[in-house]
Chains A and B, each alone.
Chain A
Amino acid sequence: DVKVTQSSRYLVKRTGEKVFLECVQDMDHENMFWYRQDPGLGLRLIYFSYDVKMKEKGDIPEGYSVSREKKERFSLILESASTNQTSMYLCASSPRRNTEAFFGQGTRLTVV
C-alpha cells in the first residue's frame, strides 16, 4: 500500500514563526502536492512538484514556499506564520500525470 506520511497531526505555532511541514511518500511517486483544506472552500492547491528540485505554484502560494531535495520528501514552509494560515494541510503524491493522488492524514496547524 502507498503510504504518505505527514510529520505532525497537530501543530500550534506563534505568529511570525517559521514553520516546516514535512511529508514523505514511500512509493517512488513523481508528483507531490500540498493542499490547504478550509470549511466551505474544499481543497486548494498551494504548490506541487513533478520532480526533484522542481516546483510549481498552485492557486494560493502566497506566504508559502516548498522544498523537494529528495524524491520521497516534500516540505511546506511558512516563512512567517500568520493567523490566517490556521488550517488543515494535506500532502499528496501521485505516480504520474492523470492518476490517483494518495493523501496523508493531514496536519492541523493553529497559529496563535
Chain B
Amino acid sequence: GENVEQHPSTLSVQEGDSAVIKCTYSDSASNYFPWYKQELGKGPQLIIDIRSNVGEKKDQRIAVTLNKTAKHFSLHITETQPEDSAVYFCAANSNTGNQFYFGTGTSLTVIP
C-alpha cells in the first residue's frame, strides 16, 4: 500500500514568519493530496488539497506544491499567526481512491 512520510514532526516559528511542511509518497498511482489541520480537542479539517494534474494551488496564506516526478508535496503557510498553531497532516489517496493514507503529523507552534 501507499506510504506517506511527513517532516518535520514539530515546528516552531515566530509570528509573521513562514512555515513549510513536507511529505513524500510512494505510490505513483496516487492522484489526490489533501492537507488537514487538527486543533486541540477537534477532528481534522481540510484546509487545502491538490490533484495530480496541478503543480501548485494557493488559498490566501496557504499554498501547496506537488512534484509528481519526485513524489513529494509541501504545505506553505505565509505570515503565520498564533491561530495557525495546530497539528497538520498530509495525506495521499490509495490507487483505488477509496481510502487515504496519512502522514504522522506536524505540530506547528506560532510564537507571538
Contact = CB atoms under 8 A, between A and B. Distances in A.
Interface residues on B, range: 20 to 34
A103 B104 contact: no
Nearest to B31: A98
A27 B44 CA distance: 18
A100 B49 contact: yes
Interface residues on A, range: 20 to 34
B15 to A, nearest CB: 26
A56 to B, nearest CB: 7
Interface stretch (B58-66, B69-77, B91-99): B91-99
B98 A101 contact: no
Interface string A1-20: 00010000000000000000
Interface string A30-56: 010101000011111100101000001
A90 B104 CA distance: 15
B91 to A, nearest CB: 8
5 contacts: A98-B93, A99-B32, A100-B34, A101-B100, A104-B43
Interface of A: 4, 31, 33, 35, 40-45, 48, 50, 56, 58-59, 90, 92, 97-106
Interface of B: 1, 6, 9, 31-32, 34, 36, 41-46, 49, 51, 89, 93, 96-105
